[in-house]
Amino acid sequence: MILKDRIALVTGAAGGIGQAICTALAAEGATIAVHYHKQEAAALDLVGELGGAATAFQADITAADQAQSLVDRVVERMGGIDILINNAGITIGGQSVVDMPLEDWHKVVDVNLHSVLYMSKAALPYMRKRQDGAVVNIASNVVNTLPGGAAAYATTKAGVVALTKVLSKEEAQHGIRVNAISPGIIHAGMGVGALNRRTPEVREQFLNTIPMRRSGGAEEVAAAVVFLASSSASYVTGQHMSVNGGDRTESYQ
């Protein structure tokens, strides 16, 4: 129970990786604020599974005022925030920069990057009061591979890594550690869609380019989150950890 009595806010918690993160944090004793935007049923089901260890909170965190309201409500209801997991994300792939509608670009930037900024600005003042906290931002292995057709997603996730490193330097004096995790192809959420879009032959070829020759599990990402959120990583900040089976190749389209 390495996170006993800790309060964790997880954004995008209703998705596959988000649910795994919440479950893993709760298993280590944390109380979870389960954030969702539109997936109310999935969020409430997760809260039901976690029992008294979790409460659901709705917000559109692409709006700064709603991100602030979310954090304020969590603090009022739960008494504070020790751990912030910026997990919410979307992708609109398969479009070249020339062909991509600008509204798609702005939507991905709002969800993947602006929400991380808004949530950090809202939560960090509360976390500073405790002089002991952790922020874990979920980026993506796309920052290592930079495939064509993923301009918006790759740019925003690279921005998340950059913001992580800047925040780690600014918040260390306040006792807050800030790190990022880049999952590779994970058999959950968007990862399932990415695999299913390929033919069986191309899917097998793609997985064989990964040194571990398989996709990852959401629980493997969650285990890395637990480590970085815990005192086991008390001297770890400003780091970008890849959970990707060793993958550094460009994805098959």
**CA separation for the pair 9, 84 (Å, rounded):** 5
**CA separation for the pair 59, 51 (Å, rounded):** 21
Q: At what angle do helices 115-128 and 64-78 cross, to 10 degrees?
A: 30
Q: Which of 63-77, 107-121, 135-149 has the lowest mean pLDDT?
A: 135-149
- Residues 123-147 have a mean pLDDT of 94
Predicted pLDDT of residue 147? 85
Query: Band of the pLDDT at 205, cuts 50, 70, 90?
Result: confident
Predicted pLDDT of residue 207? 84
Determine which one of 118, 153, 235, 252 is catalytic.
153
Share of the chain above pLDDT 90, in %: 79
Predicted pLDDT of residue 196? 67
Query: Band of the pLDDT at 155, cuts 50, 70, 90?
Result: very high
Looking at the domain that runs over 7-242, which CATH code has it been given? Answer: 3.40.50.720
Residue 187 in this model has a pLDDT that exceeds 60: yes
Residue 10 near residue 32 (C-beta atoms within 8 A): yes
Residue 231's Cβ-side half-sphere holds a number of Cα atoms within 13 Å equal to: 9
Residue 85 near residue 8 (C-beta atoms within 8 A): yes
Containing 90, the helix (H) or strand (E) segment is: none
Number of other residues whose CB lies within 10 A of the CB of residue 38: 10
Residue 252 is among the residues annotated as catalytic for this protein: no
Number of other residues whose CB lies within 10 A of the CB of residue 199: 9
Query: Band of the pLDDT at 108, cuts 50, 70, 90?
Result: very high
Query: Band of the pLDDT at 145, cuts 50, 70, 90?
Result: confident
The residues near 166 (Cβ < 8 Å, ≥ 6 apart) are none
First-to-last C-alpha distance (Å) of the chain: 42
- Residues 58-87 have a mean pLDDT of 98
Pairing of strands 133-138, 83-86: parallel
